[in-house]
Each structure stands twice: as C-alpha cells, then as structure tokens.
A and B are shown apart, each in its own frame.
Chain A
Amino acid sequence: MKQKFDINRFKDNAFKYFGIACTLFGLAVLSVFLINILIEGLGRLNWQFFTSLPSRKPEKAGILICLLGSIWIMFLTALIAVPLGVASGIFLEEYGKKNKFASFIEINISNLAGVPSIIYGLLALEIFVRILGLGKSLLAGSLTLSLLILPIIIVSTREAIKAVPKSIREASYALGATRWQTIWFQVLPAASGGLLTGVILAISRAVGESAPLIVIGALLYITTIPTSPMDDFAVMPIQIFNWLSRPQKGFIENATAAIIVLLLITFMMNGLAIYLRNRWQKKIKW
C-alpha cells in the first residue's frame, strides 16, 4: 500500500529541523566570535600583559590596574550585596506576611531587576558620588553595582528557599526550634546550592557591567594600583571599551586579549555555579 503524504508528520519534522537550525545559528555565531577573539588576542596574552600599567604604547600596556580593579569590585560588591540581598530574601520568604503590601514589594523587586543598568548609574552618581561624597572610588562603584544586583540576589534567594520542602521546616519546629534556628540550621544549608548559584551569577553580572560605572566616572586611565576602597579605579569592561575606541591595531589586539581574560573570569564563575548546583542536586533528594 502506498503511504499517503501525512501533513501533520511533515509539520512535526519541519519544526524539528527548524529548531535545530535555530540552535545551531546561536552556537555558530558564538563560535565565530570566540574563534575570532582567540585568534586575535591569544598571542597577546603573556605575563607582561598581566603585570603592566596602562600605557600610550599598545605593546607596553597591560591590564594590571583594571584586573585588580575588577577583583576589588567583585569582593566589595559581594560584601555589600550578598548579606543585604540574602537577608531581604529570607525576610520576605520566611517572615513576611502574605498581604497586599508584600505583593507590592515583590512586584517592585522584580521590576528593579529589569531596570537598565545605566539608570542605577545615574542614581548612584547623585547619591553616592555627590550627596555622600564618595567620589569616583571603588566603594562608590561597588555600592552602585550592589544596587544593580540586589534584586537578582533577593529573587534567587527566595527561589532557593522556596525549594526547601515545608516538611523540613515542620520537623524542625516540632522539635522545639525557633524560626531563626530552623532557618539557620535547616533551611539555609538545604538551600545553599541554589543560593550560591544565584549569588555567583549575580556577581559575575556585576563584573561584566560597565555602563553604570562610566556614569559615576570610573577613570579610563589611572596608573596607581588601588589599595583601599576609597581609591580611584578602572575595571576590565571599561578598559576594553577604551582600547577598542583607539585607532591603533595594537590596542585592538590588547582589547581582544582583555576580552579573553574577562570571558575566562565569567566562565569560571558560571562553571562554579553549575558545579555547585549539580552537587547540591545530587546530595539532596527529597
């Protein structure tokens, strides 16, 4: 018997191949980009590049200042944003009453997560730089980025806490634990995988951010190593932006090399996040 042409089956297959094509498109663009970057920048990656100060001559310039700036920013931002964000997340999830005010706060936090980063820059310029007089310091930059990632940390903390089953909390209460003991000894350890994942992803977002820091006036060209939170600073993305805007070929090469370093940092952080998530899922099966 001759098979009739089946239109539904055709559609099914057509969609499958369309989907494959879409996926490959994204991957292809990404690989072209990565390969391109690697070809141009890999040769520039050497010890001198990591240990040199900015310079007007591309072959003498290095990323020491901005790499240290990014590391400072990473730690200061984590120091500010993680306790604030995790504590807010815990409060909203465990203590907050479920009423209209709570859902109002909830909606606003989700909205904040979607505000363009440059707006945070403007806010920070007014409050931290001008009113509080922190200037263009590392502290001002970290506070700015903390504002930016705070909603992300709050939301991911809540998600991680929500994933801990009610039965664990009840078991703890039933043994005479207070709310805080239950949170500290049961909920947080059980949620730690998801919590850390969210925190790491948020910080890796902060490390890659440049717009709000440009707004508050992070410098493009400084030659002193930052040693305290009140020092001026530069960060990787701004240095990359700066080099890319120069006409000389040598600076473009420097920029691509710096992009490789920045990518490595974010890949490493995302990898760590994925590792923690997997380990946590393996360890705990409800």
Chain B
Amino acid sequence: MVKDNNMGKLHAEKVNVYYGDHHIIKDVNLSIQENTVTAFIGPSGCGKSTFLRLLNRMNDYIENFRKTGDILIDGNDIYDKKVRVEELRKRVGMVFQKPNPFPKTIYENVVYGLRIQGIKDKSKLDKVVEDSLKQVALWNEVKDKLHQSALALSGGQQQRLCIARTIAVEPTIILMDEPASALDPISSAKIEDLISELKEKFTIIIVTHNMQQASRVSDKTAFFYLGELVEYGATDQIFTKPVKELTQNYITGRFG
C-alpha cells in the first residue's frame, strides 16, 4: 500500500477481532498522528486492551484468535506475511498494567532488548542505560545500584524502569496498557508527567480507566463500547462536548 499522509503514523481500517465465536472488536477505523498521545477509554471488556494489543501483535499467541481488516504503521501492513513480528515489536514498544521487570538487575532489565539483538559493546550498553534511565527520571534514584535486583525497587520505580527498558530499544510507538493503575497517586502522577515528555519523541497510545488521567495526558481520545469505536476526537472536545450521548453518559460517570 502506498503511504498516504492522511493516514498518519498508524492507521486501522475495518478491523474485526474474534476469539472463537466471540466478536471482540467490531469494524474499527482509526488514524493516529505522529508524536501525539491518544487515550483509549471505555468500560471493562469493551475491547480497548484487545485493540491495543493488536498494534504490536501481542494477541498472536492466543488460541482461536482471528482478525480481519488492516492495520498499517507508516503505511505498511503489520500483519503482512513478510513482516517479522519481532521487528515490529522493536518499533512498537509496550508497557503493561502491572510493572513486570525481569528478575534480574536494573542494568540487565534496560539492556535486555539490545542484548537479544546481539549488541555486546559495553560502552554502548552503558550509554543506553544512562540515557534511558535519565529519560524516565530514574537515573538519580538508581545510578548507584544498577547491578542490584530490579525487584527491590518500589512499584512506581519498577514501572518507570519498564518504560526505560521499552525506550532503550528506540521504538517509534509506545503502547501503554493502564500503566498507572497499579500505582499510588504520587507514582501515578510521575508516570503522567513522563508521558507528556515522551510525546516529543514517541507516538503514545494509552489505555486507561481513569477519566482525569485521559483528559490530562492525551491529545486525542477514543471511546470504545462493546467492541465498537463509538467516538474518536480531540480530548478537549470529547470531554466537554461529545457528539454521542453514549460518550456523554460514560464520561459523566452514568455507567461504566
């Protein structure tokens, strides 16, 4: 397919997902621009996480998973047979709901993505560790204990380490699946600040249950309900004058 600027960084067209007989995602069309933060909101089970995981093909290993429609990143179909899923995931990083550092040292956590690419140059790895940890504002807290277990860090620090680990691979898109929902308010606020900074370099898509968080961090918001993309637009507009009544009801807390 030829690249079309209107398609943006990421473009989904008529995407449907089935798990066995369950129709999870229904005819979703969506375009996301580069260097923006897009929030996916909606009640539990609405398909927003499933949709997010389509974008780095994390659903591939699920049995009975089936998808129709196209997902293009920079104009290329990421489900094309020629695409190596490992290459895709280097371009499209992911941060999970629960901080999930590897049971290894802080240093090894950050360089893992590079090590598996066969990069051994110590000075390069050292530099990546420092740069990545600085970007997530964790460097000052951990620079003296890089070779201690990452599991000894607090939940908020662990989550920032997971973000550092993701950006160390230099992706262009970062997917975040409720990255702050398992954290205390202060750690949560730090993650939000971080998202606003990372926007300069990355395209960020974040799934969240927290309306305030969505309105604070995102430029665009997509509201999913029962597998359908109900409304998608500028965050200001979605939260102040949504077009659909369903959206209005959800963001004002009448259901969800």
A interface vs B, CB < 8 Å? 97-98, 165, 167-168, 170-178, 181, 185-186, 189-190, 283-285
Q: Are A175 and B93 in contact (CB under 8 A)?
A: yes
Q: Are B100 and A171 in contact (CB under 8 A)?
A: yes
Smallest CB–CB gap between B246 and chain A, Å?
32
Q: How many Å lie between the Cα of A168 and that of B162 in the bound state?
A: 11
By beta carbon, the residue of chain B nearest A176 is B90
Smallest CB–CB gap between B120 and chain A, Å?
14
Give chain A residues whose Cβ lies under 8 Å from the Cβ of B166.
174-175
By beta carbon, the residue of chain B nearest A178 is B86
Give chain B residues whose Cβ lies under 8 Å from the Cβ of A285.
151
Give chain A residues whose Cβ lies under 8 Å from the Cβ of B165.
171, 175
Q: Are B100 and A168 in contact (CB under 8 A)?
A: yes
Interface string of B70-103 (1 = CB under 8 A from A): 0000000000000000110110011010101111
- The one of B56, B103, B169 in contact with A190, judged by C-beta atoms closer than 8 angstroms, is B103
Given contact pairs A167-B100, A181-B116, A190-B103, A174 touches B58 in the complex (Cβ within 8 A): yes
Smallest CB–CB gap between A98 and chain B, Å?
6
Tell me, yes or no, whether B63 is within 8 Å of chain A by CB: yes
Give chain A residues whose Cβ lies under 8 Å from the Cβ of B100.
165, 167-168, 170-171
B interface vs A, CB < 8 Å? 56, 58, 61, 63, 86-87, 89-90, 93-94, 96, 98, 100-104, 112-113, 115-117, 149, 151, 162, 165-166, 169
Q: Are A98 and B98 in contact (CB under 8 A)?
A: no
Given contact pairs A98-B63, A185-B116, A284-B151, A175 touches B103 in the complex (Cβ within 8 A): no
Q: How many Å lie between the Cα of A173 and that of B59 in the bound state?
A: 11
- The one of A170, A177, A190 in contact with B96, judged by C-beta atoms closer than 8 angstroms, is A170
By beta carbon, the residue of chain A nearest B169 is A175
Give chain A residues whose Cβ lies under 8 Å from the Cβ of B149.
283
Q: Are A176 and B87 in contact (CB under 8 A)?
A: yes
Smallest CB–CB gap between B117 and chain A, Å?
7
Q: How many Å lie between the Cα of A167 and that of B102 in the bound state?
A: 9
By beta carbon, the residue of chain A nearest B109 is A171
Give chain B residues whose Cβ lies under 8 Å from the Cβ of A186.
102
By beta carbon, the residue of chain B nearest A284 is B103
Q: Could you pull out 30 A-B pairs where Cβ atoms are within 8 angstroms? A: A165-B100, A167-B100, A168-B102, A170-B58, A170-B94, A170-B96, A171-B102, A172-B102, A173-B58, A173-B89, A174-B89, A174-B93, A175-B89, A175-B90, A175-B113, A175-B116, A175-B165, A175-B166, A175-B169, A176-B87, A176-B169, A177-B112, A177-B113, A177-B116, A178-B86, A178-B116, A181-B116, A186-B102, A190-B103, A283-B149
Q: How many Å lie between the Cα of A176 and that of B104 in the bound state?
A: 18
Smallest CB–CB gap between B162 and chain A, Å?
7
Give chain B residues whose Cβ lies under 8 Å from the Cβ of A172.
102, 112
Q: Are B98 and A171 in contact (CB under 8 A)?
A: no
By beta carbon, the residue of chain A nearest B88 is A176
Give chain A residues whose Cβ lies under 8 Å from the Cβ of B89.
173-176
Given contact pairs A176-B87, A177-B116, A97 touches B103 in the complex (Cβ within 8 A): no
Smallest CB–CB gap between A286 and chain B, Å?
8
Q: How many Å lie between the Cα of A181 and that of B102 in the bound state?
A: 14
Give chain A residues whose Cβ lies under 8 Å from the Cβ of B58.
170, 173-174
Q: How many Å lie between the Cα of A283 and that of B105 in the bound state?
A: 12
Give chain A residues whose Cβ lies under 8 Å from the Cβ of B56.
174
Smallest CB–CB gap between A27 and chain B, Å?
37
Q: How many Å lie between the Cα of A66 and that of B90 in the bound state?
A: 56
Highest count of chain B CB atoms <10 Å: which of A98, A173, A189, A283? A173
Q: How many Å lie between the Cα of A168 and that of B94 in the bound state?
A: 13
Q: How many Å lie between the Cα of A186 and that of B102 in the bound state?
A: 7
Give chain A residues whose Cβ lies under 8 Å from the Cβ of B162.
171
